[in-house]
Chain A
């Protein structure tokens, strides 16, 4: 036992938690400061007066009181993006191509998890389940989603990417896009044949929909309740656990060392006795596991899924991976959190700051404009290193 404990690299367990806390806190502080300054400036203008008229509160107070909730929402979606982004970034790290099928692997994970829960619901087991049992069911659904998505990712690599290993880089990219469409339609076909239902609904059970209330704050003529739903907490905690686990795998185990070696130089790694194909399969497996879990968590948080559910989260996670510096694991975490935060801040405050002219429907425009700006000044991404393309 002692030997086992000593073999654990504590530093690699603590470091990612510290990083996550730092990134979350950092982006929250920077964005909060920005909106507060903006609110102070706009308070004296017609924008502030309009809000005063509507809700009888100053723009600064409105912004300040809404902040905690916005930060929580941003973190929740940010961690989901980060978990998906890791799949993109790991594959890019070892193979240097974008696995566009990753968004469908995420969707398959979501579907498998939700279908299992729906089946359990039909047997009546969910309705009568105690709180403890409902967590067992949820964990079972997440693990099933992970297993399905992981297996699928490995299969896709074996069937659609490995035969193209030596081809120019555009070829596997096209293959990935093809696989993405194929999987989307397979989900549609299977759902059409089995349930005949396009929209699948995450069943209501357990206490996930409940909310932990922190308190009430007066806001003009009304008041605002600050709280966090249990499912948001589950999403955040599961994502943190996964991210720490992945970090440990890559930075403190023999397999991780092999993955890093293959990423650095494939032929040399192979000369050193590393089975490159096996390591690449493992990389896809790990990416798929993370994507599948993210899929089930996404369904838990947002209730409804359809066969195209992977498209937008996938695209945004890809953007997050690029923002953080693609190929860099820490960068994917940072990118996911920053993008989730940006999006939520934009969606929550744009409506008030523009007097309703550009509401939360334009949040993506804002978030992606920032992304473009960052990439103009740091083309390698926030944490990427400026290295030349590998031959």
Chain B
């Protein structure tokens, strides 16, 4: 047994020696700069993840010229995080051990970004996130971590403001008792109180099927609007049962509701009465003013329409490239250190991307982020993408 172990151990040592010598070899090539992407390239979330990578690839192709002119060879290093925290962290360790990598564009899932960025943080490697909305992504206050989208805790505020705009006087707030859903619901409730809405109730539920007893107080209060913080699988069942019991008001939820399965469950009940709305941090690419050329180029290169977050992938790469260029200039046109790149990202002022103009605050949130409220238009699940954006808002992140 012991003999066996020692054999395995020596293999392991040999492997790590090879790895080390490989790392040293690429470090010797001072002219090469790599930018990594991390997103799910396989599995059921790969539809979004692959296009996120493609967006970054396109940006590198179109915007890499200034660095090439300075004598650098800029390369893309795509990694597949499989939407899995373990894989993301393992990739992150490989990424930080390659000194040619100066920035990471990445992660689709907050649950993967948060542990992976701990690894980036230990070696000062800059990370620009195109999609992660959990407040914790930036509230840890790491210099290296930035994002270009909005935050979950603002979504509640967006929802409450929208409810006021619809003319609602009273609301009933329900959440799914997860950090995500309850968080959003609490921010909704707070803002609703500030806006003078009457909050008739605030309840959490893990129930997935039988909402009868929860519906009694809701129906008795007959609020103008019912808000649900959580995922579509619960929200749609609740909304359907509420409508069937004669509730005629409006439903409002968060970006967890953004799935065509919602209409598969609730169908026509979402359209009846006051209708249904949900808030989200990323609209379809076409809603951003600067994306017309991007969509055309993307279609020409990949022969398909860009998925959500592809344009954000493009912008994250553009920001990384610009920051590396700035840092290299300060360094006398030599390869900058990782720390210098991370600082350069924070120092960018009013960077004009295709999904907005970005300046990062002290913790890496964009000073203004876009939020959308979308209306469900059709009871047919196949027509989910035809839902219309009814409101686009620019909101600053909370200062923490």
Nearest chain B CB to A231 CB, angstrom units: 9
- Closest chain-A Cβ to B383's Cβ sits at a distance in Å of 16
* Interface hits, A205-225 → B, CB 8 Å: 209, 211, 213, 219, 222-225
The proximity string for A residues 74-97 relative to B, scoring 1 for CB distances below 8 Å and 0 otherwise, is: 001100000000000000000000
A181 within 8 A of B: no
Does chain B have a CB within 8 A of A26?
A: no
Chain B's closest residue to A65 (CB) is B220
Within 8 A of B (CB), among A348-372: 348-349, 351-352, 356, 359-361, 363
Give complex CA distance A303, B240 in Å.
9
Establish whether residues A211 and B210, one from each chain, have CB atoms under 8 Å apart when the complex forms. no
Whether the Cβ atoms of A359 and B246 lie closer than 8 Å is no
Q: A66-B216, A348-B216 are in contact. Are A302 and B209 (CB under 8 A)?
A: yes
Q: Which residue of A lies closest to B219 (CB)?
A: A224
Name the one of B207, B213, B222, B241 contacting A348, with C-beta atoms under 8 angstroms.
B213
Contact with A along B203-241 (1 / 0, CB 8 A): 111111110111011011110000000000100110011
Is B118 engaged at the interface, CB distance under 8 Å to the other chain? no
Q: Are B233 and A224 in contact (CB under 8 A)?
A: no
Q: Which of A199, A204, A227 contacts B233 (CB 8 A)?
A: A199
Instruction: Kindly list chain A residues whose C-beta atoms are within 8 Å of the C-beta of B343.
Output: none
The complex places the Cα of A360 from the Cα of B210 at a distance, in Å, of 11
CB atoms of B246 and A347 under 8 A apart? no
A298 CB within 8 Å of chain B: yes
Cβ contacts under 8 Å, A359 to chain B = 201-204, 214, 217
Q: Are B265 and A303 in contact (CB under 8 A)?
A: yes
CA distance A209 to B245 in the complex (A): 9
Contact of A363 with B213 in the complex, beta carbons under 8 Å: yes
Interface residue tally on A, bucketed by range: 35 or more
What are 22 A-B interface contacts by the 8 Å CB criterion?
A54-B221, A66-B216, A70-B213, A76-B212, A77-B212, A201-B261, A204-B268, A224-B219, A229-B245, A303-B237, A304-B209, A304-B236, A348-B217, A349-B216, A351-B217, A352-B217, A356-B202, A356-B203, A359-B214, A360-B205, A360-B214, A361-B207
A69 to B245, CA, bound (A): 10
Cα separation A344 to B233 with both chains bound (whole Å): 22
In the complex, the answer to whether B213 meets A211 with C-beta atoms within 8 Å is no
Identify 18 new A-B residue pairs, CB closer than 8 A, beyond the known A302-B237, A309-B209, A356-B201: A54-B200, A66-B220, A70-B213, A73-B216, A76-B212, A222-B220, A224-B219, A227-B245, A301-B210, A303-B240, A304-B209, A304-B265, A344-B212, A347-B214, A351-B203, A359-B217, A360-B205, A361-B203
Bound-complex Cα distance A360 to B237 (A):
17
Choose among B177, B209, B237 the residue that contacts A361 (Cβ–Cβ < 8 A). Answer: B177
Asked if A211 contacts B209 (CB within 8 A), the reply is no
Chain B contact residue count (CB 8 A cutoff): 35
Confirm or deny: B65 has a beta carbon within 8 angstroms of a beta carbon on chain A: no
Pairwise interchain contact A204-B267, C-beta atoms closer than 8 A: yes
Please state if A361 and B213 are interface contacts (CB–CB under 8 Å). Answer: no
A-side contacts of B198, CB under 8 Å: 54
CB distance from B206 to the nearest CB of A (A): 7
List, in ascending order, chain B residues with CB within 8 A of A209's CB. 244
Expressed in whole angstroms, the Cα–Cα distance for A186 and B213 within the complex equals 32
- In the complex, B264 has a CB within 8 A of chain A: yes
A213 to B206, CA, bound (A): 29
Q: Is A43 an interface residue (CB 8 A)?
A: no
Minimum C-beta distance from B396 to chain A (A)? 32
Closest to A351 in B: B217
- Nearest 8 pairs between A and B by C-beta? A347-B213, A302-B209, A348-B216, A73-B212, A359-B203, A222-B222, A225-B246, A360-B214
Distance in Å: Cβ of B362 to nearest Cβ of chain A: 37
- Report yes or no: B210 in contact with A302, Cβ–Cβ below 8 A: yes
Say which residue of A65, A73, A301 sits within 8 Å of B213 (CB atoms): A73
Docked-complex contact B210 and A361, CB < 8 angstroms: no
Question: Does any Cβ of B come within 8 Å of A343's Cβ?
Answer: yes
Interface of A is mostly: helix
Q: Mark A314-348, 1 if CB is under 8 A from B, else 0.
A: 00000000000000000000000000000111111
Q: Give B contacts to A, CB under 8 Å.
A: 177, 198, 200-210, 212-214, 216-217, 219-222, 233, 236-237, 240-241, 244-246, 261, 264-265, 267-268
| A62 lies within 8 A of chain B by Cβ | yes
A222 near B267: Cβ-Cβ < 8 Å? no
Is B213 a contact of A343 with CB atoms below 8 Å? yes
Least CB distance, B16 to chain A, in whole angstroms: 38
Partner of A224, one of B201, B220, B237: B220
Q: A66-B220, A224-B219, A303-B240 are in contact. Are A346 and B213 (CB under 8 A)?
A: yes
Find chain A residues with CB under 8 A from B204 CB: 359, 361
- Chain A residues with CB under 8 A of B222: 222-224
Shortest Cβ distance from A197 into B: residue? B261
| With A346-B213, A361-B203, A361-B206: A62-B220 Cβ-Cβ less than 8 Å | yes
The CA of A204 and the CA of B204, in the complex, are separated in Å by 27
Q: Is A190 interfacial (CB 8 A cutoff)?
A: no
Answer whether A211 and B220 are a contact pair too, CB < 8 Å, given A201-B264, A304-B208, A361-B205.
no
Does chain B have a CB within 8 A of A55? yes
Which residue of B177, B204, B222 has the most chain A CB atoms within 10 A of its CB atom? B222
In the complex, what residues of A have CB within 8 A of residue B210's CB?
A: 77, 301-302
Contacting pair B216 A69 (CB below 8 A): yes
Quick one: which of A76, A224, A301, A305 has the most chain B CB within 10 A? Answer: A224
In the assembled complex, the CB of A299 is this many whole angstroms from the nearest CB of chain B, namely 9
Q: In the assembled complex, which residues on chain B have CB atoms less than 8 Å from the CB atom of A55?
A: 200, 220-221
Chain A residues with Cβ below 8 Å from B237 are: 302-304
Contacts of A211 in B (CB 8 A): 244-246
Chain A CB within 10 Å, residue with most, of B202, B212, B222, B264: B212
Binary contact track A155-193/B, C-beta < 8 Å → 1, others 0: 000000000000000000000000000000000000000
